[in-house]
Structure 1
Amino acid sequence: MPPDPLGFAVDRGLGVAGVDEVGRGALCGPVVAAAVILPPGENRDLQGAGLRDSKQLSPRQRQGLVGHIRSVAWDCQLGLASVAEIDRLNILQASLLAMHRAIAKLQPVPQWCWIDGNQLIPGLSLPQRAIIQGDRHCLAIAAASVVAKVWRDDLMVRLDSRYPGYGIAQHKGYGTAQHRSALQRLGVSPCHRRSFAPCRSQQLPLL
C-alpha cells in the first residue's frame, strides 16, 4: 500500500503521481488533466510557497506557483480530452481519459497514482487510489490541479480571440449568466459541448 495521503506531511520517497483535472463543469473547451511527480523533500518548501487546492488560489498565485512546481517536479505532464470526445463519451469518461493520457507521458513511471475524486481510471496498468477532495489533502494532487488550471485558463484566453462574443477569457467556459446570455444570442461555437444541456438546444452560428 502507498503511504496515507491524508495530510501534506507525507514524504516516503515513493514515486507517487498526483493527478487532477479541470474544466469538467465548463460548457466549452476541453477537459485538461495534469499528472505531477514530486521528489522527496519538496513538501515543506511547496507548502511554504502557498501551494494548495487551485480553487483556493487567485490567478496570480497560481501563475506564481506553476513555475515552481515545474522546476522541482520529477515530471509534470498534461493530458486533454477534446470537445468531440466529451460529447461522444460523456464528461466523466472524457475526464478519466485525459488523466490516463497525462499519466502515460510520465517519466519516470510512477509506482502509484493518487487520483482526485472517487473514480479509478479504467485500463490504467499502475496501482491507483481515488481520493475524495484529494487536492485538499495531497500535495502532489494540489500541484496537478494548479498546473492543469493555469494551462487550461491560458488556452481559454486564446479561444476567446478565436470565438469572440462569449466572454470566454473571463469565465473560462463556465456557465455564468454572461455566457448563457451569449449562447442565446449567438448560438454555440465549434468549441462548445453540444451534449451539455445549455448548449444542446442552441444552433451553430452562421460563419
Structure 2
Amino acid sequence: MASESYPLFESLDEARTAHVAGVDEAGRGPLAGAVFAAAVILDPARPIEGLNDSKKLTARRRELLFDQIRERALAWCIAEASPEEIDRINILQASLLAMQRAVSGLN
C-alpha cells in the first residue's frame, strides 16, 4: 500500500518490509546534560496530518503532534545517555547509544 503522507513506504512496500522505525536524537549541542533519542514506528494506515521536521514546526504544533504520535504509532520509545556516559564515550557515541536504546525499547 503506497502512502501519499509517507512516500518512503511506497518503495518499502515493494521490498515487503513489515515495519520501519524512525529514530532521531536531541541534545548534542549543549555542553551539559543528557542526550535523548526517540524512536517510532508509524502506522501507514493512520497518517498524521502535518507531520514534518520538528525544526519547521511551532512548539504548540510539536506538542499536538506528540500526542497524536503516541496515540497512533504502532510503537514508540524515548531513551537517553547520561552526562557520565557522554564524558566516558564522547557525545557522538552517546547519541548513537541513546538511539540504540530507543530502537531496542520499541515493542
Shorter-chain TM-score: what band? 0.7 to 0.9
1:62 Cα deviation after fit = 0.5
* Range with greater deviation from structure 2 (94-103 or 13-22): 13-22
| Residue aligning to 1:89 | 89
Runs of 4+ in 1 over 6 A off after TM superposition: none
Matched, 1:54 2:54: yes
| Residue aligning to 1:31 | 35
TM-score (norm 2): 0.83
Q: Distance in 1 between matches of 2:31 and 2:59?
A: 20
Matched residue SS, 2:7: coil
1:25 Cα deviation after fit = 0.9
1:79 Cα deviation after fit = 1.2
Matched residue SS, 2:8: coil
| Residue aligning to 2:8 | 10
1:14 Cα deviation after fit = 2.5
Structure 2 gaps, min length 5: none
TM-score (norm 1): 0.44
Structure 1 gaps, min length 5: 1-6, 108-207
Q: Which has the higher strand share?
A: 2
1:104 Cα deviation after fit = 1.0
1:71 Cα deviation after fit = 0.5
| Residue aligning to 1:200 | none
How many corresponding residue pairs?
A: 97
Q: Distance in 1 between matches of 2:32 and 2:6?
A: 33
Q: Distance in 1 between matches of 2:32 and 2:56?
A: 23
Please give the per-residue CA displacement for 1:11-30, whole angstroms capped at 9, x wherever unaligned: 33621100100011112221
Q: Distance in 1 between matches of 2:57 and 2:44?
A: 24
Q: Distance in 2 between matches of 1:57 and 1:26?
A: 21
Q: Which has the higher contact order (CA 8 A, sep 6+)?
A: 2
Which runs of structure 2 are paired with 1:23-172 in the superposition (5 Å)? 23-42=27-46, 45-46=47-48, 49-107=49-107
Aligned residues: CA RMSD: 1.6
